[in-house]
Chains A and B, each alone.
Chain A
Amino acid sequence: MRPTSEDELSELVAGATGPLHVRGGGTRSMARAGPGEVLETGGLTGIALHEPGALTLVAKAGTPIAEIEAALEAEGQRLAFEPMDHRGLLGTAGEPTIGGAVAANVSGPRRIQTGACRDFLLGVRFVDGTGAVVKNGGRVMKNVTGYDLVKLMAGSRGTLGVLTEVALKVLPSPETQGTLVLHGLSDAEAVAAMARGLGSPFEVTGAAHLPGRGETCLRIEGFADSVCYRLGRLADLFAGHEITRETDPDAVAARWRGIRDVAEFHGKPGDVWCLSVKPGDAPEIAARAGADEVLFDWGGGRIWARMPEGSDLRAHLGAFAGHATLVRGSEAALSALPVFQPEPAPVAALSAGLRRRFDPRGVLNPGLMG
């Protein structure tokens, strides 16, 4: 099913007699496809509004991200939350859509400083599990009118409603960018160094550690003089370390695209997990995970772990503060392990309650999120 209007989508959902498999570009599908008919949003496309002077963009959910990024670039703007492209990691094809990025709350390295997808989402329109069309939020940057269903929809992966339109806050692209690379740090030293960078006033907008390469990267963005100045001040913090500076904007962009998309893991076997933890816990948690390879982003707050197929990362860790998502699972892993971190009972009860209210018949991606 590929509706071309919100009305049509609403009728399809209202008329559904069995489970629907909601799909944007299909590039981020993590769980096994459940039973049911595929409902694609790719027929709902187009940028409805882009107001550069108000930093806002409104687009239909099925609009390709590439189209949005091109429109923004023409005005010197960008999606500041830096949505990851999952295709390389998951081996999927197709065209990532903005609705898919929102539904999965997909954010890149800049999340640590500038915010997640959900922080840039100003408004949504969606069709709930009964077929009702609901709007929430709007297209203005400050809005506390009623409950914030915008946040609820971000990351709900089509289980509470099918997004039809999203409004986003966009930001100006910086004049240039640079990376400070520290070499040869252990995981613990790297996390401490990233904490120093992020705790400095120099506005680090990316902090990642690639143990395989022995590189710890700190990104600075802004006006050229300012980037140069801040890279210098930042380097002063790490006097005595082996440091290189990367200032060619294309090289910097390519490096951070690689970190964003976890390029280190592309083409390598195993399950891939993504953890969100307190950055300071990261070295110890990574050590306990028993992974074949790890990569740290968000100053350590996000750990990408490549694991032997079917191994239960959560069991290796025991209780820990944060959550682990099975982003790329083998058959062995997917048949045995939940994709999303099981929630404590009171939270799980609230989540289930919300699902029952927004999708009383259980037709929207049933089972995906509990």
Chain B
Amino acid sequence: MQMPEPDARILSRKDDLVAQLKRVLPGGAVISDPAETRAYECDALTAYACPPLAAVLPASTEEVAAVLKICHAAGVPVVPRGAGTSLAGGVLPTADCVILGVARMTEVLETDYDNRFIRVQTGRTNLSVTGAVEEDGFFYAPDPSSQLACAIAGNIAMNSGGAHCLKYGVTTNNLLGLTMVLMDGTVVELGGAHLDAGGYDLLGLVCGSEGQLGVVTEATLRILPKPEGARPVLIGFSSNEVAGACVSDIIKAGVLPVAIEFMDRPCIRACEAFAHAGYPDCEALLIVEVEGSEAEIDHQLGLIKQIARGHDPVELREAQDAEEAGRIWLGRKSAFGAMGQINDYICLDGTIPVSELPKVLTRIGELAKGYGLEVANVFHAGDGNMHPLILFNANTDGELAKAEALGADILRLCVEVGGCLTGEHGVGIEKRDLMSDQYAPADLEAQMAVKDVFDPGWLLNPAKVFPLDVSEARRGARLAAE
């Protein structure tokens, strides 16, 4: 994965820049010692790392604005950072950039149950947003598996999803408003406790823009009353095709589960070995969860079981109590961890039309064989968001490159069948150079035009999302102008 060469002129002015930053931030909030900047060298895509020039940890919107003004004036690129759990290399630094972390901005600013929202600083973790309201019977719906660690800042930038978004939507559907700072230091408020924009939906545009349009410092999030109850059922099948057909039939029947998760045999085995969740040893496994009162749950699960039985399941297990429900979810939730124990892996994130599921799984198997690699599949089946995990050994020369090549082939396959490169992890650097497989030049031009408007100098997280050759002229214009 290529990154632009650092700008030597910026590197040579490091001391001056650090001194300026220290004037607007309290002691300890500017990190420039190479021993310490290492902590910011990568995100969860650990194959790529590069310590930044410096990292700053402002504590307020005003401090963020002050930092950005300095960097803007000095022509220094800035990479906004939440918790650093991006799987796409979204916060990978360049040696000439400043990492702007929101980790010190974790306050709850307002909770309003009558109007069902919470306003927080964006450094707050996803889970602790729910934590702030759950005693009062509310929750924040988007639930990425990384929710213990990831920050609302990153969730907004990546428009993150989770297991329950089939019913509740992803971040953008639960984001009501935000405060952000543009690269030149201008503070902008979008949305609020009311719904929808009076003019253009800039809130919707900023959500998912991967830290390239502004630094988001505060967010107003929709909170929802907790359902009366929830219960999962586990269904095992003897083939992926049958499991796929079952998903489609459940959706067609008018039941709308909160989650439909899918795991294939390699994944089931690894999870079982790791978490001892009591999964059957079969080709494909679905976890379907529904919500409501006891009677409502019984009714919906009754329908789902009836549909599943029509597909000859090898196992059909309904959670009898909270403990069993926990066990059913345990395996799924530890899938990435389980894989990590036995292998290095790359986690893909393409989305496909649900109807293409069986075909795509077969093709993935064939592609993997061609590369001599193994792929385990775990994903959100209700919405077609796949997470093929490509297993490889990082210590074997050339295996990473091989795994990446397989990953690119699988993502191209997703696009080919009518899907997309990424359903929730974002483009970052990882899928940057595949963007031209999904989008024509005019499509990319329209997106880059948006960045031109928000960040004319292309200083915010500039080397992400767009293929480097496609964005070169714009990034180059900045360098030439200096």
Chain A residues close to B by CB (< 8 Å) = 51-56, 75-76, 105, 107, 111-112, 115-116, 118-119, 128, 132-136, 138-152, 154-156, 160, 171-175, 192, 195, 198-201, 222-223, 225-226, 229, 276-280, 298, 301-302, 321-325, 340-341, 343-344, 346-347, 350-351, 353-354, 356-358, 369-370
> Do A152 and B201 contact each other (CB < 8 Å), given the known contacts A53-B248, A323-B194?
yes
Q: Does B423 sit at the interface, judged by CB under 8 A?
A: yes
When C-beta atoms are compared, the residue in chain A nearest to B166 turns out to be A141
Bound Cα distance A280, B447 (Å)? 37
Q: Does B481 sit at the interface, judged by CB under 8 A?
A: no
B158 A148 Cβ-Cβ under 8 A: no
17 extra interface residue pairs, beta carbon distance < 8 Å, beyond A54-B248, A226-B299, A322-B198: A54-B355, A105-B201, A146-B427, A146-B447, A199-B225, A226-B293, A278-B194, A279-B115, A298-B195, A321-B194, A340-B199, A341-B198, A343-B198, A347-B199, A353-B454, A354-B453, A369-B199
B292 A226 Cβ-Cβ under 8 A: yes
Residues of B within 8 A of A128 (CB): 446
Q: Does B480 sit at the interface, judged by CB under 8 A?
A: no
Q: Does B422 sit at the interface, judged by CB under 8 A?
A: yes
Against A, the Cβ 8 Å flags (1 = close, 0 = not) of B99-129 are 0000000000000111110000000000000
Contact of A145 among B112, B190, B421 (CB under 8 A): B421
A54 B384 Cβ-Cβ under 8 A: yes
B442 A370 Cβ-Cβ under 8 A: no
A172 B254 Cβ-Cβ under 8 A: yes
B431 A199 Cβ-Cβ under 8 A: no
Bound Cα distance A116, B195 (Å)? 9
Among B4-12, B22-30, B53-61, B433-441, the stretch in contact with A: B433-441
Bound Cα distance A52, B465 (Å)? 32
CB distance from B426 to the nearest CB of A (A): 5
CB distance from A338 to the nearest CB of B (A): 10
CB distance from B446 to the nearest CB of A (A): 5
Residues of B within 8 A of A370 (CB): 199
Residues of A within 8 A of B440 (CB): 135
Bound Cα distance A139, B248 (Å)? 16
B159 A145 Cβ-Cβ under 8 A: no
CB distance from B350 to the nearest CB of A (A): 9
B420 A143 Cβ-Cβ under 8 A: yes
B420 A152 Cβ-Cβ under 8 A: no
Contact of B352 among A136, A140, A152, A199 (CB under 8 A): A140
B453 A195 Cβ-Cβ under 8 A: no
When C-beta atoms are compared, the residue in chain B nearest to A123 turns out to be B420
Residues of A within 8 A of B296 (CB): 222-223, 225-226, 229
Q: Does B342 sit at the interface, judged by CB under 8 A?
A: no
B351 A151 Cβ-Cβ under 8 A: no
Closest 10 CB pairs of A and B: A151-B204, A323-B198, A53-B248, A142-B423, A172-B254, A353-B453, A341-B198, A278-B193, A141-B383, A322-B194
Contact of A301 among B194, B419, B420 (CB under 8 A): B194
CB distance from A370 to the nearest CB of B (A): 7
A152 B351 Cβ-Cβ under 8 A: no
Residues of B within 8 A of A199 (CB): 113-114, 116, 138, 225
Bound Cα distance A175, B255 (Å)? 10
Bound Cα distance A51, B384 (Å)? 13
Bound Cα distance A229, B435 (Å)? 49
B200 A138 Cβ-Cβ under 8 A: no
Chain A CB count within 10 A is highest, among B159, B299, B452, B453, for: B453
> Do A143 and B423 contact each other (CB < 8 Å), given the known contacts A116-B196, A149-B205?
yes
Contact of B443 among A105, A112, A136 (CB under 8 A): A136
CB distance from A58 to the nearest CB of B (A): 10
When C-beta atoms are compared, the residue in chain B nearest to A161 turns out to be B446
Number of residue pairs spanning A and B whose beta carbons lie under 8 angstroms apart: 262
Against A, the Cβ 8 Å flags (1 = close, 0 = not) of B167-182 are 0011011000000001
Q: Does B358 sit at the interface, judged by CB under 8 A?
A: no
Residues of B within 8 A of A138 (CB): 351, 418-420
Bound Cα distance A154, B204 (Å)? 10
When C-beta atoms are compared, the residue in chain A nearest to B204 turns out to be A151
CB distance from A50 to the nearest CB of B (A): 12
B384 A149 Cβ-Cβ under 8 A: no
- Scan residues 180-228 of chain B and give those whose CB is less than 8 A from a CB of chain A: 182, 186-190, 192-205, 207-209, 225-228
Residues of B within 8 A of A112 (CB): 195
When C-beta atoms are compared, the residue in chain B nearest to A77 turns out to be B254
Bound Cα distance A147, B471 (Å)? 14
> Do A132 and B442 contact each other (CB < 8 Å), given the known contacts A53-B354, A149-B447?
yes
Residues of B within 8 A of A353 (CB): 453-454
Q: Does B295 sit at the interface, judged by CB under 8 A?
A: yes
A140 B419 Cβ-Cβ under 8 A: yes
Residues of B within 8 A of A201 (CB): 137, 225-228
Contact of B450 among A141, A149, A301 (CB under 8 A): A149
B205 A357 Cβ-Cβ under 8 A: no
A115 B422 Cβ-Cβ under 8 A: no
Residues of B within 8 A of A343 (CB): 198-199
> Do A142 and B205 contact each other (CB < 8 Å), given the known contacts A225-B295, A341-B198, A354-B200?
no
When C-beta atoms are compared, the residue in chain A nearest to B113 turns out to be A199
Q: Does B332 sit at the interface, judged by CB under 8 A?
A: no
Contact of A195 among B115, B195, B423, B447 (CB under 8 A): B115
A350 B384 Cβ-Cβ under 8 A: no
Chain B CB count within 10 A is highest, among A149, A160, A175, A370, for: A149
Q: Does B449 sit at the interface, judged by CB under 8 A?
A: yes
Bound Cα distance A112, B465 (Å)? 33
CB distance from A163 to the nearest CB of B (A): 14
> Do A229 and B295 contact each other (CB < 8 Å), given the known contacts A51-B353, A53-B248?
yes
B252 A144 Cβ-Cβ under 8 A: no
Residues of B within 8 A of A175 (CB): 254
CB distance from A200 to the nearest CB of B (A): 6
Bound Cα distance A17, B454 (Å)? 29
